């Protein structure tokens, strides 16, 4: 137990870059230099990062499969007075990464847990997407199995907040297809790829347009992705009302398909929702 003679150390939860090494903050670097040891998801990966900054530090492998059993040992070190850092392979630990069990155990033991904030892929994506960001839901990775993925998406159809997902290169096409089926081809979305890296792209369009771009450009299927989807509901209702008003006016002078296309572009409403009104 913690005593006055041996004040507990601090567990620093340190964010690391999601691609661009310039994104490691000076405070993160100072913290990594100061701690007794660093708990890392993949020690080889973290050793490379530390080597880049000329830091040598004992590493403790802490990953999904050993976190539960290792947490008690790490907490014992913290209680004995050592300060430790927790990092993951990229970005902020605990965000679709290990660390939750350790942080919970440390807090339960009365250990100070202090964040050293920095890069996080979904926050970076949201900041550049141009979708409503006042309220959003971070859904992490969708289930790998098609049936599980579709069930999860079906539960999100009426969600009015911006939806944010992580996705890997080998499932990006399937994910986009399932999103379009669940939310409709015309739902506005953003695909943020390789953020902070050389081939960073942030594409916006309807889900159908994004599917087409990814299907026809092999480069858009490579790397790491954050997928953001406009929420349903009030906002969408207002857009549709505005789109229908525009469509009614424009179709007095233009063929229906052109009027609907323009009204959809101007209002942001799905084109299909404007036809036949
Ligand atoms: N802890 C990390 C964070 O703070 O964002 C996320 C770790 S999670 C295991 C990895 C996923 O994050 C990738 O599959 C991808 O969806 C997303 N991601 C990580 N780096 C990214 C980047 N540079 N650009 C786009 N997405 C990225």
SS (H, E, C) 23-64: HCCHHHHHHHHHCCEEEECCHHHHHHHHHHCCCCCCEEECCC
Q: Residue 32: inside a domain, yes or no?
A: yes
Nearest atom, ligand 1, residue 122 CA: 5
Domain that holds residue 254: 236-273
Is the pLDDT assigned to residue 191 strictly greater than 80? yes
Residue 240 is predicted with a pLDDT of 75
For ligand 1, atom 16, the nearest C-alpha belongs to 166
Q: Are residues 78 and 14 in the same domain?
A: yes
Task: Measure 213 CA to ligand 1 centroid, in angstroms.
Answer: 21
Q: Are residues 126 and 113 in the same domain?
A: no
Q: Are residues 115 and 16 in the same domain?
A: yes
Q: Are residues 161 and 247 in the same domain?
A: no
What is the count of structural domains for the chain?
3
Average pLDDT over residues 25-50: 97
| DSSP structure class, residue 143 | P
Residue 277 is predicted with a pLDDT of 43
Task: Measure 119 CA to ligand 1 centroid, in angstroms.
Answer: 10
Q: Which of 90, 119, 148 is the last residue of a domain?
A: 119
Q: Are residues 17 and 114 in the same domain?
A: yes
Query: Which of 137 and 267 is assigned the larger pLDDT?
Result: 137
Residue 234 is predicted with a pLDDT of 66
Q: Residue 5: inside a domain, yes or no?
A: no
Residues with CB under 6 A from ligand 1: 18-19, 88, 90-92, 95-97, 120-122, 166-168, 192-197, 224-226
Average pLDDT over residues 258-266: 89
Q: Are residues 155 and 88 in the same domain?
A: no
Global confidence as pTM: 0.84
Q: Residue 1: inside a domain, yes or no?
A: no
> What is the residue-averaged pLDDT of the chain?
93
Is the pLDDT assigned to residue 238 strictly greater than 70? yes
CA–CA separation, 269 and 48 (whole Å): 47
Q: Residue 185: inside a domain, yes or no?
A: yes
Q: Are residues 84 and 99 in the same domain?
A: yes
- The string of pLDDT tens digits covering residues 62-82 is 998 999 999 999 999 999 999
């Amino acid at each position: 137990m913690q005593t006055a003679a041996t004040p507990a150390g601090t567990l620093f939860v340190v964010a690391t870059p999601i691609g661009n090494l310039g994104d490691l903050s000076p405070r993160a670097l100072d913290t990594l230099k100061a701690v007794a040891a660093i708990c890392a998801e993949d020690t080889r990966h973290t050793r490379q990062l530390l080597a880049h900054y000329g830091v040598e530090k004992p590493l403790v492998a802490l990953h999904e499969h050993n976190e539960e059993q290792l947490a008690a040992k790490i907490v014992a070190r913290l209680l004995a007075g050592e300060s430790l850092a927790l990092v993951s392979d990229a970005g902020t630990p605990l965000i679709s990464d290990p660390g939750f069990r350790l942080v919970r155990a440390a807090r339960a033991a009365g250990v100070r847990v202090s964040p050293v904030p920095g890069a996080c892929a979904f926050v970076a994506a949201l900041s550049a997407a141009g979708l409503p960001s006042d309220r959003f839901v971070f859904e992490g990775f969708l289930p790998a199995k098609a049936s599980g993925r579709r069930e999860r998406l079906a539960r999100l159809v009426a969600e009015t907040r911006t939806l944010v997902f992580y996705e890997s290169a080998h499932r990006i096409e399937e994910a986009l297809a399932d999103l379009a089926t669940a939310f409709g081809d015309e739902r506005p979305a953003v695909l943020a790829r390789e953020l902070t890296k050389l081939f960073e792209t942030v594409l916006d369009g309807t889900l159908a347009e994004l599917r087409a771009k990814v299907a026809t450009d092999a480069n858009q299927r490579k790397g790491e992705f954050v997928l953001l989807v406009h929420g349903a509901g009030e906002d969408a209702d207002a857009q549709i009302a505005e789109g229908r008003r525009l469509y009614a006016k424009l179709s007095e002078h233009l063929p229906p398909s052109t009027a609907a296309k323009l009204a959809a572009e101007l209002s942001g409403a799905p084109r299909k929702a404007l036809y036949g009104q």
